[in-house]
Structure 1
Amino acid sequence: MRRHTLRTAVALCSAALLGAAVSTACAAPPAAQAVRQQPRAPVLVDCFWHPKVRPADFMLACGDGNSRLTSLQWTKWNAHSATARGLNLVNDCKPYCAAGRFHTYRVDVRLDHPRPWKKHPQLQHYTRISLTYPDGRPESFTRVMTYPLWD
């Protein structure tokens, strides 16, 4: 009797697992499957190697935190580029960075040159950032500053 009960229990568990696998595979509607197959827009990789899409803030100087983008309002984010307006908080480092003051500058941001991300090759990430200062700008900065982004 015990052997018969064990076989019955194993058969029932196997049938339940098989049923769950089949119903999960069939549960996704075709439209959802099509969405998953479309390439995602590139991401912006932050200082902690996290992928971000349309972040409100972004640290430019990961090592010392002396330059940061804030209040970002994204107007475009697609497979080729992204654009935003916001503020750039920059430490003047006078007389040295620990004693310096942060100054705020209006800035237009552009991300471009998407490439596969080394950490997650299935994801594209923007590899270049350009900052355009329409009004004032930090000392020694040109009106447009372009930097490579980390991989």
Structure 2
Amino acid sequence: MIKSRAVFAASAVFLSTALAASFFMTGDFSKTVAKPLKLKPSQVLTWDCEYPEYKPETIMIYCGDGGAYIDKINWKSWSQDGAEGTGEYYKNLCEPDCADGKIVHAPVSVRLSELTPRKGKYYLRTLDMTSISGKDFPWGESGVFEWDVMDFIEHMNWD
């Protein structure tokens, strides 16, 4: 009888501690990982539209029509801490319309960051693109661009 009371008391303490911990943990841990396990570079992915990729050579920005993308990406670094490289940004100016629009391009720096878990895998979700010149593109578009490459996948609940 004394033994069963001790087990009951220990169980009650454990349950109380677990409930208290869950009550005080109010952060959303489903988004960004502060310090994940040590991942091999090949375990770190990103997104090219709806496709998970390891060191993609191309990343589409306008997935619907391919009207803007970064191509010929040369990754200088790739790890769970982020990725950096250079590439060529291509954009359809859609003048007079997108079917007949002029395609322009310029060299850019590319950075991926914000390691995020999703369904047992890890993805770099934030893409930062900057013109190599540090100025706006010759066609008048800003030379700085940030994009959440994982947003579409999360909204569609794909992969």
What TM bracket, shorter-length normalisation? 0.5 to 0.7
Q: Please tell me whether Structure 1 or Structure 2 has the larger radius of gyration of its CA atoms.
A: 1
2: CA distance between counterparts of 1:109 and 1:129? 7
1:27-75 superposed Cα distances (whole Å, 9 cap, x missing partner): xxxxxxxxxx95344201222x332111212211101100111111100
Name 1:133's counterpart in structure 2. 131
Asked if the contact 2:68–2:90 (Cα under 8 Å) also holds between the matched residues in 1, the reply is yes
Partner-residue secondary structure (3-state), 2:71:
strand
Q: Distance in 2 between matches of 1:122 and 1:40?
A: 14
TM-score, with structure 1 as normaliser: 0.66
- Which SS does the other structure have where 1:71 is aligned? strand
Offset at residue 106 of structure 1 (A): 0.4
Q: Indicate if the aligned counterparts of 1:114 and 1:127 stay in contact, CA closer than 8 A.
A: yes
Of Structure 1 and Structure 2, the greater helix share is in 1
Count how many residue pairs are aligned between Structure 1 and Structure 2.
111
The equivalent residue for 2:46 is: 44
Higher RCO (CA-CA < 8 Å; seq separation 6+): 2
Q: Which consecutive unaligned segments of at least 5 residues does structure 1 have?
A: 1-36
Does structure 2 conserve the Cα–Cα contact (< 8 Å) formed by 1:74 and 1:83? yes
Name 2:85's counterpart in structure 1: 84
Tell me the TM-score normalised to structure 2 length: 0.63
Question: Which aligned runs of 4 or more in structure 1 are off by greater than 4 angstroms?
Answer: none
**Corresponding residue SS for 2:99:** helix
